[in-house]
Structure 1
Amino acid sequence: MTTVAAPRRRADATRNRARIVAAAREAFVDHGAMAPLDEIARRAGVGNATLYRNFADRRTLIQQVTLAVIERVMAHAHAATAEEPDSFAAVSRFVHAAADERIGALCSLLSGTTDPNDPELVDARAELKQVTEDLITRAQDDGLLRSDIGAGDVLVAVSQLTRPLPGTGCLDLDRFVHRHLQLLLDGLRTVAPSPLPGRAVTLEDLTHRV
């Protein structure tokens, strides 16, 4: 019985940890780095004791969420590179996928809440930098992406477009992100622009309350 129960307990613990990280990511996007840990436990469907057993404090949880987001963004980059024969389509797919990870909304997690010199974070950021640069360079070498931009331009733009704007908590701006990302991408390409998703944004849209 022991040999059966132990692996099951380990599997349950792994699932709980993953649920906590996913719930924390959502809570940090919604409420910032100081989102209540009780709320995170509730979203994850676990007790407070389980949360603290996996993560000793808020700083540790934030670090793991940051690593998880970086890993997900890198996975999107690798998938785009492997599955899109058109190098500009690969860049476009990566940009939209990175936006869906809400990396702009999570940027504040890195400010004053994590150790920038932590080896895991240093390695993860270096790998993200490399895979993003590879995507950009490939499209530039193919003549599909303008040569006067770098990977940093792309990540900054995605971060800015997915960062909540001050004083706009009452506005539903998320629905415009992919449209504006496509406008950005069309400004970066060297050939005919692609169709924009959605519809034109009106002034009435900007005053819509959630």
Structure 2
Amino acid sequence: MATAAPAESQRRAPRPRADALRNRERIVAAGRELLVEYGTDLPLDEVARRAGVGNATLYRNFKDRGELMHHVVLSVTDRVIEHAEKGLAAEDAGESGAFDALRTFVHAAADERIGALCPTLQTTFDQDHPDLLASLGRLTAGIEDLLGRARAAGELRTDVGVGDLMVALSQLTRPLPGKACLDFDRYVHRHLQLFLDGLMAPARSELPGAAATLEDLRKD
């Protein structure tokens, strides 16, 4: 009796080729760059050109702008999570103090230009997508750990939360409209340093309202 051929469902799906994965990564990176420059109306033709791929390759990986934006948001979020985890690891290893670890994280996260994501999250993005919720959960945990350690060391004022930190990061890294503001980037780290100095204990004033969480920001 002849041996039956394996069922289609039992066959392993072929792994994506290395060059295909690199193309996908380049497309997401280009999408991130152009999001900063154009906002949510970023031109897909320019994404393909900057990524060094053809339009067919772009659409083979992402069916439309919405799907590309989804992966851009997840990519930026994952990179910010990595910065938080590196800060925690440096503090664990004794290579950095608790507030210095927080400071290093904030400056690294600013370079990811997370403020450019705000219009996407407010308009075209599914805020309840499981992938996004999982990433935001990891991000919140990492930042809360950084804040908690700095607070326990007596170096961070007690009346700030994760949401307060993310609001400042988002506002200082969000592109301003108009070509007259293209040099805005050179001031970001300078103003972040001023903000971070204001987070240090002892506090010199009492903040109005309550500390913000990421969940508070999602409700607004």
> Normalised by the size of structure 2, how large is the TM-score?
0.80
Identity %: 58
Report the equivalent of 1:56. 63
Q: CA RMSD in A?
A: 1.4
1:142 aligns with 2:153: yes
Q: 2:200 matched to which residue of 1?
A: 189
Shift of the alpha carbon at 1:143? 0.4
Matched AA of 2:153: D
Aligned residues: 184
Question: 1:111 Cα shift?
Answer: 1.9
Kindly state the Cα deviation for residue 110 of structure 1 after the two structures are TM-superposed: 1.2
1:33 is the counterpart of 2:40:
yes
Match of 2:142 in 1: 131
**Contact 2:156–2:201 at 8 Å: present in 1 too?**
yes
The equivalent residue for 2:102 is: 91
Q: Which residues of structure 1 form unaligned runs of 5+?
A: 1-5, 192-210
| 1:108 to 2:119 alignment | yes
1:11 partnered with 2:18: yes
SS in 2 for 1:145: coil
Partner of 2:160, secondary structure, is: coil
* Cα distance per residue 1:23-56 (max 9 Å; x no partner): 0000111111111100000000000000000001
Which stretch of the first structure deviates more once superposed, 106-115 or 124-133?
106-115
How far apart, CA to CA, are the structure 1 residues paired with 2:131 and 2:25?
A: 18
Report the Cα distance in structure 2 between the residues aligned to 1:164 and 1:24, rounded to whole angstroms. 15
One of 47, 68, 78 as aligned partner of 1:71? 78
Q: Which runs of 5+ in 2 are unaligned?
A: 1-13, 203-220
Deviation at 1:112, TM superposition (A): 2.1
Specify the alignment match of 1:208 in structure 2.
Answer: none
Is the radius of gyration larger for structure 1 or structure 2?
A: 2
Structure 1: how far apart are the matches of 2:175 and 2:46? Answer: 21
SS class of match (1:96): helix
With the length of structure 1 as denominator, give the TM-score of the two structures: 0.84
User: Could you tell me which residue of structure 2 aligns to residue 198 of structure 1?
Assistant: none
> Partners in 2 of 1:86 and 1:118 — Cα distance?
36
Q: Report the CA distance between 1:164 and its aligned residue.
A: 2.1
What is residue 176 of structure 1 aligned with on the other side? 187
In 1, the alpha carbon distance for the partners of 2:142 and 2:173 equals: 21
